[in-house]
Amino acid sequence: MDLANLNLISIKSDSDSKKEFKNSLKKLRLNYINEPTLEDIKKEVEAVRKLRYEK
């Protein structure tokens, strides 16, 4: 069974995925009033990791 032919998955080149990610990130930043800094993102990631691994 070919999942791609059944439109259950899509296969994209690596460069397409990178472009799509960058475009999504641009859209998020345009809609965000105060763009998060790298430090804000790091703090959020660490908080989520801490909650996940404390269990």
Query: Per-residue pLDDT tens for 1-54?
Result: 577 777 777 777 777 778 888 888 888 877 767 777 888 889 988 998 888 888
Domain assignment of residue 18, yes or no:
yes
Domain assignment of residue 43, yes or no:
yes
Domain limits for position 48 = 14-54
Which pLDDT belongs to residue 1?
52
Which pLDDT belongs to residue 55?
65
Domain assignment of residue 39, yes or no:
yes
Give dist(CA 33, CA 54) in Å, integer.
33
Domain assignment of residue 44, yes or no:
yes
Domain assignment of residue 4, yes or no:
no
Which pLDDT belongs to residue 51?
85
Which pLDDT belongs to residue 14?
75
Which pLDDT belongs to residue 36?
75
Nearest one of 9, 11, 14, 15 to 1, comparing CA atoms:
9
Give dist(CA 22, CA 26) in Å, integer.
6
Question: How many folded domains does the chain comprise?
Answer: 1
